[in-house]
Amino acid sequence: MDEHNAPAPVQSAPAPVPPAADHSQAGPAASGQRRTQRWPHALGLLVFVLAVLVAPALGGWALFTRPAALPLALGLVPGLRTEGVQGTLASGTLRIQHLDWTLPAQAGRLQIDQLALDGLTLGRAARAGTWATLRWQQLSAARVQYTSGPPSGKPATLPADLGLPLALERGAVQIGTLQIDQLPPVQQLQAWLSLGTDQGRLHRVDALRFTLEGAQFSGQAQVATAAPLTTQAQLSAVALGQPAWQAQASAGGPLRRLAVQADLQGQAAKGQLAAPSLQAQATVEPLATWPLAALALSTRALDLAALSPRLPHTALDIAATVQSQGLDQPVQVQATVDNRLPGTLDAGRLPLRRLALAVQGEVAHPDRLTLHRFDLQLADSQGDAGRATGQGQWAGERLDLALTLAGLQPARLHSRAAALDIAGPLT
């Protein structure tokens, strides 16, 4: 036999070497047999590798195309319950009759009724740094309710970056009722939402419209995705009924420290000489322990009932300032309030003629306030109804007051109160 056809020596187990002539005849047959025996193993391994590679794609394809797959996938999300799921991602149309999601990390609870998504497509990433681009024609819901979770006890912090791996092209959003905790509900909310627009540099809300407490609001907002998260927002409001008023507000600057301006103008009610107005300039730090870093507020003949039906009729002249210089400096609050339209509570009025106060707080301890001066003059539509002056301190859940009452008549504050005349110290 040729040397090149001789088999390699076997080192794993000792065995006699067969004659060369026998190897020359059996070699090809044995080699073919070994190849035949390897084929099932190689084929099995190939099938296994293909299964590993293709199974996720097949699962994703089923999720994308089969109506029964989406409810099963949603059922795997922790804390999420859904009812009446219809449609597929491939069709671009989804319907969920009811969604109830207990958010992770005790972040609250989200409930949505009659969720509908139309014109949904998922396309190629429009820029580097994103996985894909999401598009929809309209996202709508009859009702959305968010209930906050318990306080975490930890200070909130802003992220260094708001960039997202998924871009959203301008999509329409419509919500019939938006309820957040016990706040007044927002009705008929409409907006256009864009995430990662301007090459990923901005998130935007355009053409925002909603009604709240008898007023129609409209506005727009944007926030940069990179630090310092520069924000710009404008909001305007118009009363839907009488008395008529209109207002504008704007906010700008880094998200951690916003400069806010607001202005309100109304029409003078019958028999009143002054038209209601409000002007305010403030510095707001949304996530600080003391969010209102500075304030200058003034009003003239302001009727609170015109802003919300929950509030009493008033004609308030207010001058208020808030000043804070830093974490180690006290916060100073000065305010005077004059009410030209006092009256009893059961008559839908506020039994207040004048309030003057001076308060000092601590930025590092917002639950501690010192009331240096407190002067409250009460009245109804007929005249004075008493006075309370004094000082006090609030720490945590405890309020300590040292007041002096003079000529306080509860029946002049509410018609069902006792007809008393109270005077003297009160602690």
Point out the least confidently predicted range of 27-41, 192-206, 227-241.
27-41
> Cis (ω within 30 of 0) for the bond into 425?
no
* DSSP designation for 270: T
* DSSP designation for 103: -
In terms of Cβ atoms closer than 10 Å to its own Cβ (0-12, 13-18, 19+), residue 141 is buried
pLDDT 10s digits, 338-369: 999 999 999 999 999 999 999 999 888 888 99
**For residue 65, what pLDDT band results from cuts at 50, 70 and 90?**
low
Mean pLDDT of 177-190: 97
CA 195 remoteness from chain centre: 15
Q: How far is CA 122 from CA 132, 167, 171, 175, in A?
A: 7, 10, 13, 23
Over 80: is that where the pLDDT of 114 sits? Answer: yes
Amino acid identity, residue 25?
Q
Residue 414 neighbours by CB distance under 10 Å: 14
pLDDT 10s digits, 20-30: 444 444 444 44
pLDDT 10s digits, 222-270: 999 999 999 999 999 999 988 899 999 999 999 999 999 999 999 877 7
Amino acid identity, residue 89?
L
**CA 180 to CA 183: how far, in whole Å?**
6
Name the 3-class secondary structure at 130. Answer: coil
**For residue 321, what pLDDT band results from cuts at 50, 70 and 90?**
very high
pLDDT value of position 57? 40
In terms of Cβ atoms closer than 10 Å to its own Cβ (0-12, 13-18, 19+), residue 132 is middle
Over 50: is that where the pLDDT of 38 sits? Answer: no
Over 70: is that where the pLDDT of 47 sits? Answer: no
pLDDT value of position 73? 82
Q: How far is CA 243 from CA 44, 109, 352, in A?
A: 81, 38, 22
